[in-house]
Structure 1
Amino acid sequence: MSSNNQPTPPDQRQAVLSQRRNLKMAESAHAYVRGSTVKFYEWLEQSSGRIPDGPPVWICGDCHVGNLGPVANAKGRIGIQIRDVDQTVVGNPAHDLIRLGLSLATAARGSDLPGVTTALMLERMIEGYMMTLDGELGGDAVRKRPSVVRLGMRQAIGRTWKHLAKDRIKDIRPTIPLGKRFWPLTDEERAAVEDLFAKDQVRRLVTALHSRDDNDRIELLDAAYWVKGCSSLGRLRIAVLLGVGEGHYDEGGLSLIDIKEAVQAAAPRAARNGMPRDNAERVVTGAQNLSPYLGDRMRPARLLDRAVFLRELLPQDIKLDFDHLTREEATRVAFYLAAVVGKAHARQMDEATRKSWRGELARNRTKSLDAPSWLWSSIVDLIVGHEAAYLEHCRRYAERPDA
């Protein structure tokens, strides 16, 4: 097996990726939540909360705080939207609420906030989500950004290709340096990538940015296997560096494409849902409904007989930092992020459906908690299950200082 700073040969990939995924999930309880989507839905089936049947819409399916943040569209406009839709399905919007609530609760615990803050966060979360069901899709709610979101937006607006290159490939030259994060492709994989970018459909994705022309020449400069993510580690994932037009070193002359394998979603899907059978088409269609800025920059494809989806990475696509939250900031974050998710759901509903779903959310509240009892009980049960599983995971996989 290769050392941490050396690229891993193709025949050793799966063993190294499995180890990295296990260690990454052991870093914190919140990291474990992010990496355990399949277990989330297994435990949710066993929880005591009676989850209502919300209207069937495209849902994120893996709606944790790390999957929400700044996203740019092809024309350069930036908004806070859902930024990862691998698990998207036509399903129950209540599942996104529970997943987001669990993520917020574990983030609060990671910031050493008291348990009462979790209850307040869930109340504010439901308040922010329900505002999006009131006609204007929560315009005021989405504009009231907490400081962590304002900071993320300022960073996103000021970023250029050089920032993207340093973050993603640690180099501003037109190559992808092999090492810990990028590994060599096999000859078969590289040939398949070259064939893929010869297709018109993929060319149109690359030339979609406003500063490019449909007739621009596209040159494949480099490609490498990409070691990225947590729950997705082990799937086929390839970074492709392209030169577009004549000047490859200019701001608009380089393009970094993320090719990612699309697999079966863990999230339950609604009956008679009309979803595409191909997993890559499912992911792209879900993105177009949930996160238009992202969906417009994605395309489904086939690579080595696998369903994959492509998206061009832009400098403005960044994660928000929720590692250190105050009590006030935690409740504001809960309100705001729930409004973003609610807006993604609500734009798919007509007025009558929004009103009916809002009415369902307003029911089942107690005198001591201004949030649905099913939401609270589901999250409490999930926290218990996740905590036990996380500790067991750490016992088995975490690196020990004295080892």
Structure 2
Amino acid sequence: MSNESRSTTTSGARAATAPRKVAHLTPDQRVARGKAARNETPRRSHGSWEQATNRPDPVALLEEQATSRVPELVPLRYGRMLVSPFTFYRGAALIMASDLAPTPRSGFITQICGDAHLSNFGVFASPERRLLFDINDFDETLPGPWEWDVKRLAASFEIAGRDRGFSAADRRDVVRSCVAEYRARVQLFAAARNLDVWYAHIEVDKLLEILESSVTKKQRAKAQANVAKARTRDSMQAFTKLTHEVDGQRRIVSAPPLIVPIEDLVPEGSGRDDVEAELRGLIRSYRRTLETDRRELLESFDYVHTARKVVGVGSVGTRAWILLLLGRDGQDPLFLQAKEAQESVLERFVGASRYANHGQRVVAGQRLMQAASDIFLGWQRVNGFDGEVRDYYLRQLRDWKGSADVDTMSAGVMSAYARVCGATLARAHARSGDRIAIASYLGTSDAFDRAIADFASAYADQNERDYEALVAAVRSGRLEAESGM
């Protein structure tokens, strides 16, 4: 890979974009905007979902995405999506974005995740070494209708509840818990000062307190054990698990197709030395997108080795690399992940990103929505081995990262977890959108909650039909799927 020298690599913004004029309305004016939006888009209107007669073929949308992905990894993506309707949903962000485009919207725009399903929330370390709970995937982030994030999150709980075998009543309670908490938190943020909204965050200790009244003693102990495990997931743990010594040098282990070292992709005599030199150049160029103090920290590490690594369900097939660097000695590792950033699935429906570099789009959105972001979060544009120009964002591979075990959740635990996710999404939206207008639109009744619960149930039915379409496409030979490892 070689870094491309152009001004948008570091500045990132499209040259034609004019400075945004900000209107400072009074709180009363913002409340009036929210109430007026109810007349145009009643809250109950969000509850409907019907498949349009001209709805795109969901399998065709997946095939379209596959054209820009690593060909040998695409069957692995389909294999992972075939595990269940829930895993299918995790990989179907484009399908749902297409479905959400014609649905009712209030007209208020926030920075949205674009893929806010329940497995894209989790814990990680803040720069101050506190364990936080937040959204942790921003590949699709873009300014857009806040309702789309709420609907994708709510539907994910309905679908996960079906996967767990919960009753229809329990599933509805879970979804309504999520949306009611979102609504309540937006109301709180609407009354808060701007800086208080910006500083708001959920520390894991507080999260455990929230869960305490909803879980058994055994479940609480398991949650605490998972938190303790998350604190061990760092560069040192990855170093121990993912590397070994070869001829006196540390190298990333080979575990194809999930992990493939650079030398297996670029054999000796095929320009491997040039590739290694280019990777060092990539790191030097990427450091310019970091804060000045973090540039100094990164400079104290030396590049050692690289491998391609397969990532989560929705991103399988996009190019992702793990880069091993060493600091003061051979026991001072830093693992970075460089993940390809393609066009957001939302862009064809809400307009192009203001950033020419999709890596910067992801980083800007993540910094705007997260309470705290990785100290090594940055971006770069490079030429791939095939000569194609691609955008990437970089961050630490692991930094106290952990996620909820959805496969073992009881209905009560999932309901409590749904509340936490709803609260987290509300905080993320409040940082960029008109929280007062949105709170006014939502109101204090449960009208919106009930509507979203209706939508989630109807859309879960649609998701099951789409899942069966994928199953049929694989059975017919239209698509090839592999289970992987």
TM-score w.r.t. the length of structure 1 is 0.81
What is the alpha-carbon distance in structure 1 between the residues aligned to residue 286 and residue 87 of structure 2?
39
Number of residue pairs matched? 371
Q: CA offset at residue 383 of structure 1?
A: 1.1
Q: Partner of 1:176 in structure 2?
A: 252
Q: CA offset at residue 302 of structure 1?
A: 1.1
What is the alpha-carbon distance in structure 2 between the residues aligned to residue 82 and residue 161 of structure 1?
21
Candidates 78, 100, 113, aligned match of 2:153 = 100
**RMSD (CA atoms):** 3.2
The 8 Å contact of residues 100 and 148 in structure 2, kept in 1 or not, is answered as no
SS at match of 1:248: coil
Q: CA offset at residue 131 of structure 1?
A: 2.6
Structure 2 residue 96 is matched with structure 1 residue 40: yes
Structure 2 residue 317 is matched with structure 1 residue 231: no
What is the alpha-carbon distance in structure 1 between the residues aligned to residue 175 and residue 429 of structure 2?
18
Candidates 168, 175, 182, aligned match of 1:122 = 175
Q: CA offset at residue 237 of structure 1?
A: 1.3
Sort the Cα spacing of 1:153 and 1:274 in 2 relative to 1 into closer, same or farther, 3 A.
same
Q: Partner of 1:383 in structure 2?
A: 460
What is the alpha-carbon distance in structure 1 between the residues aligned to residue 285 and residue 121 of structure 2?
31
Q: Partner of 1:320 in structure 2?
A: 404
Structure 1 residue runs of 5 or longer lacking an equivalent are 1-12
Q: Partner of 1:22 in structure 2?
A: 78
- Note the alpha carbon deviations across 1:48-85, whole angstroms, 9 max, x for none: xx533253221111001111000212332220011110
Larger mean CA deviation between 198-207 and 113-122 belongs to: 198-207
- Give the letter for the 1:154 counterpart: A
- Give the letter for the 1:381 counterpart: A
Sort the Cα spacing of 1:100 and 1:34 in 2 relative to 1 into closer, same or farther, 3 A.
same
SS at match of 1:199: helix
- Give the letter for the 2:284 counterpart: A
Q: Partner of 2:283 in structure 1?
A: 197
Q: CA offset at residue 175 of structure 1?
A: 1.8
The 8 Å contact of residues 90 and 275 in structure 1, kept in 2 or not, is answered as no
What is the alpha-carbon distance in structure 1 between the residues aligned to residue 261 and residue 201 of structure 2?
46
The 8 Å contact of residues 88 and 265 in structure 1, kept in 2 or not, is answered as yes
Q: Partner of 1:261 in structure 2?
A: 340
What is the alpha-carbon distance in structure 2 between the residues aligned to residue 231 and residue 293 of structure 1?
24
Structure 2 residue runs of 5 or longer lacking an equivalent are 1-68, 212-219, 267-271, 384-388, 476-480
Q: Partner of 2:393 in structure 1?
A: 309
Sort the Cα spacing of 1:297 and 1:218 in 2 relative to 1 into closer, same or farther, 3 A.
closer
The 8 Å contact of residues 285 and 380 in structure 2, kept in 1 or not, is answered as no
- Give the letter for the 1:36 counterpart: A
What is the alpha-carbon distance in structure 2 between the residues aligned to residue 111 and residue 294 of structure 1?
32
SS at match of 2:98: helix
- Give the letter for the 2:167 counterpart: P
- Note the alpha carbon deviations across 1:328-355, whole angstroms, 9 max, x for none: 1121111111101111111224xxx323
Q: Partner of 1:7 in structure 2?
A: none
What is the alpha-carbon distance in structure 2 between the residues aligned to residue 106 and residue 157 of structure 1?
30
Structure 2 residue 229 is matched with structure 1 residue 155: yes
Structure 2 residue 449 is matched with structure 1 residue 371: yes
SS at match of 2:252: coil
Q: CA offset at residue 28 of structure 1?
A: 1.4
What is the alpha-carbon distance in structure 2 between the residues aligned to residue 269 and residue 94 of structure 1?
17
- Note the alpha carbon deviations across 1:325-382, whole angstroms, 9 max, x for none: 2121121111111101111111224xxx32321222238855xxx7142x23432332
Structure 2 residue 144 is matched with structure 1 residue 91: yes
Structure 2 residue 137 is matched with structure 1 residue 112: no
TM-score w.r.t. the length of structure 2 is 0.68
SS at match of 1:197: helix
| Larger helix percent | 2
SS at match of 1:117: helix
Candidates 377, 383, 387, aligned match of 1:298 = 377
Candidates 294, 314, 329, aligned match of 1:208 = 294
What is the alpha-carbon distance in structure 1 between the residues aligned to residue 93 and residue 225 of structure 2?
28
Q: CA offset at residue 276 of structure 1?
A: 1.9
SS at match of 1:293: coil
SS at match of 1:294: coil
Q: What is the percentage of aligned positions where both structures have the same residue? A: 18
Q: CA offset at residue 152 of structure 1?
A: 3.7
What is the alpha-carbon distance in structure 1 between the residues aligned to residue 473 and residue 286 of structure 2?
48
SS at match of 1:85: coil
Sort the Cα spacing of 1:19 and 1:159 in 2 relative to 1 into closer, same or farther, 3 A.
closer
Sort the Cα spacing of 1:191 and 1:323 in 2 relative to 1 into closer, same or farther, 3 A.
same
Sort the Cα spacing of 1:389 and 1:189 in 2 relative to 1 into closer, same or farther, 3 A.
farther
Sort the Cα spacing of 1:99 and 1:311 in 2 relative to 1 into closer, same or farther, 3 A.
same
Structure 2 residue 158 is matched with structure 1 residue 82: no
Q: CA offset at residue 296 of structure 1?
A: 4.2
Sort the Cα spacing of 1:84 and 1:122 in 2 relative to 1 into closer, same or farther, 3 A.
same
Instruction: Please tell me whether Structure 1 or Structure 2 has the larger radius of gyration of its CA atoms.
Output: 2
Q: Partner of 2:437 in structure 1?
A: 356
